[in-house]
Amino acid sequence: MLFPTTCILPACIVLVSLTLSAALNLTLPHQHPDPEAVVQDVHRRLNASLSRRLLSSSSSSCGTGNPIDDCWRCDPNWASNRQRLADCGIGFGQSALGGRDGRIYVVTDSSDSDVVDPKPGTLRYGVLQEEPLWIIFSADMMIRLKHELIINNFKTIDGRGHNIEITGNGCLTVQDVSNIIIHNIHVHDCKPSGNTNIRSSPTHVGFRGVSDGDGISIFGASHIWVDHCSLWHCKDGLIDAIMGSTAITISNSYFAHHNEVMLLGHKDSNAPDSGMQVTIAFNHFGEGLVQRMPRCRRGYIHVVNNDFTEWQMYAIGGSANPTINSQGNRYTAPVDADAKEVTKRVDTEETEWTDWNWRTEGDIMVNGAYFVPSGVGLSAQYSKASSLEPKSAGLIDQLTLNAGVFGDPRDTSGISNPGFSGAGTTTATTADGGGGNGSNGGDSDYFGMIFGSDAPPAHSSATSILLSLLIILVLDTITNRGALLSLQLLTL
């Protein structure tokens, strides 16, 4: 396309922007032009963390191989440098700044009695401010919301060091804003509410209809990162991202006791959702879940290194031709013989979805689970995924070891509401990163030599460690996929 030789500068900028967006097939302003490059960047970061863990001394390292956690947890002074977390994101939401460049705001009051004129010191007062803020808490808190909590631009809600629960009416709303980080928070038992005036900024109070009752509702927003949260038992979705939301990462979180877990995309006919790009990494989809982990409409969804331990209907579903890139996950099917399939094309005939790009690479299928791929190269990918042995799952165990709020119990604890321990998150406050070095409970997998307790295991040797490292580094150099393929090779 030829541009006019003379034009008004703003008009030229708009014209060039529109032309480039059309050429790159972009539908949203914050959509990445090359999603595969973002996927490869996740691989590189994961492989770098695994390599550092291999090279480090077992007696001094706090690294786990999880690139997000290893970025900040090994700093014994992390509590004095909290905003460093904003530089640790991966995937499509890695550019979320949150309140990195702003002041620290301390929540000292757990009440939420006034949604129009909230008191200073409350969470609501902090999240509605115009300036960037890094929001922390002075003590353990149960915050029972009166109505939905509307979060303004450039905010971080950081619950590290305390046990923070958000529950009640509406819960967290991220609407038409950008650069939000939500970290180390319990979100549960959220209910619909509304038909009232709610303040969303220091200068705006508006009437809100009835909310859906999502745990976290992302609406027309971009550069969003949800990390190390524990979510369960809400009226609608635990996390929903709709209406042209993009540049999102959901990582290291724990989901339990819920039906429709995660919705990505408003409806099949909503064209802006074609630009939705979401990374779902290192999460644990735990007990009592039914479906939608996630359920996708349009967009590009990268599902990488998650542990799916329970579903009753399906794990990953979709309609309206979303791209699903499933890599290095573990899918454990339920006992029900009719629910073994990981995937579900919702209300769509096979003749329509056969060309959809649903990929599986390096996934581990347990208890009869199977992933039905589609699109280019499906036969080779399906064969590769189905032939993997479950013993290589040690890497998934390690990467998702601390999924959810730090210090929370896991499924086997007997707690009725996993994700809430009823005590402070002391694990996150230890000088060496807390539970990052814990053993995997004596599992006889070969990843113990890398990710086990600080004491060197008897069956490993320096030679085997160096050989494993060499294999990973060579594969990363040649194929740029060392992180995924190491899942298989380190078990040889």
Tell me the pairing of strands 289-291 and 300-304: unpaired
CA angle 60, 65, 71 (to 5 degrees): 80
Count Cβ atoms below 10 Å from residue 9 Cβ, excluding itself.
Answer: 7
DSSP state of 281: E
pLDDT band at 488 (very low <50, low <70, confident <90, very high): very low
Report the pLDDT value the prediction gives residue 469, as an integer from 0 to 100.
52
Give the amino acid at 352: E
Indicate if the pLDDT at residue 177 is higher than 90: yes
Residue whose C-alpha is closest to residue 398's, from 486, 462, 275, 268:
486
> Does 482 score more than 70 pLDDT?
no
Question: pLDDT band for position 96 (50/70/90)?
Answer: very high
**Between 147 and 466, residue with greater pLDDT:** 147
**pTM (two decimals):** 0.80
Task: Quickly count: other Cβ atoms within 10 Å of residue 334's Cβ.
Answer: 16
Lowest mean pLDDT segment, chosen from 2-6, 322-326, 356-360, 486-490: 486-490
Scanning 303-439, the segments in alpha helix (DSSP H) are: 350-353, 378-386, 394-399
* Half-sphere exposure at residue 90, Cβ-oriented, CA atoms within 13 angstroms: 28
435 token code pair: 């539970």
Strand-pairing partners, residue 168, are 145, 190
For 197-258, give the DSSP string: EEEEETTEEEEE------SEEEES-EEEEEES-EEE--SS-SEEEESS-EEEEEES-EEESE
At 291, the pLDDT band (50, 70, 90 cuts) reads very high
Q: Would you tell me how many other CB atoms lie within 10 Å of the CB of residue 460?
A: 16
Q: In a 3-state reduction of DSSP, which class is residue 465?
A: helix
Neighbouring C-alpha atoms within 13 Å toward the C-beta of 87: 9
pLDDT (tens digit per residue) in 224-264: 999 999 999 999 999 999 999 999 999 999 999 999 999 99
Rounded Cα distance between 32 and 471, Å, is: 31
| Per-residue pLDDT at 55 | 78
Is residue 403 within 8 A of residue 411, CB to CB? The reply is no
Give the DSSP H or E segment for 327. strand 323-327
Three-state DSSP state, 487: helix
Strand partners, 326: 303, 360
- Give the residue-averaged pLDDT of 400-411: 85
Could you report the per-residue pLDDT of 416-471, keeping only the tens digit for each? 333 333 333 222 222 233 333 233 333 322 222 222 222 233 333 444 445 445 54
Average pLDDT, the chain: 81
Q: What is the pLDDT of residue 299?
A: 96
Give the phi and the psi of residue 302 in degrees, each rounded to 5: -100, 115
Compute the average pLDDT of residues 272-282.
Answer: 96
Query: What pLDDT is attached to residue 63?
Result: 80
**Would you say 296 and 273 are in contact if contact means Cβ atoms under 8 Å apart?**
no
Eight-class DSSP state of 133: E
Q: 262 and 239 in contact (C-beta within 8 Å)?
A: yes
Q: How confident is the model at residue 364 (pLDDT cuts 50, 70, 90)?
A: very high
Q: What is the pLDDT of residue 131?
A: 98
Query: What stretches of 25-175 show up as alpha helix (H) in DSSP?
Result: 35-55, 67-72, 123-127
Query: What residue type is 491 in one-letter code?
Result: T
Enter the tokens of residue 81: 């440098």
**Residues sharing a CB contact under 8 Å with residue 332, sequence separation 6 or more, in sequence order:** 308, 309, 310, 366, 367, 369
Q: What is the pLDDT of residue 312?
A: 97
CA distances from 386 to 99, 197, 325, 369, 373 (A): 43, 53, 16, 9, 11
Phi, psi dihedrals of residue 204, rounded to the nearest 5°: -135, 125
Q: What percent of the chain lies above the pLDDT cut of 90?
A: 67
Q: What is the pLDDT, as a whole number, of residue 221?
A: 98
| Per-residue pLDDT at 173 | 98
Which residues carry out catalysis? 292
- What six digits make up the tokens of 60? 């001094």
Would you give the DSSP letter of residue 120? T
Listed residue (234, 147, 233, 217) closest to 180, CA to CA: 217
* HSE of 15, CA atoms in CB hemisphere, 13 A: 12
Q: Residue 384, SS3?
A: helix
19: helix, coil or strand?
helix
pLDDT for res 377 = 57
Q: What Cα–Cα distance (Å) separates residue 416 from each residue in 94, 189, 190, 213?
A: 34, 13, 17, 21
Q: What three-state secondary structure class fits 445?
A: coil
Query: Can you tell me whether residue 279 is helix, strand or coil?
Result: strand
- Peptide bond connecting 294 to the previous residue in cis, omega within 30 degrees of 0: yes
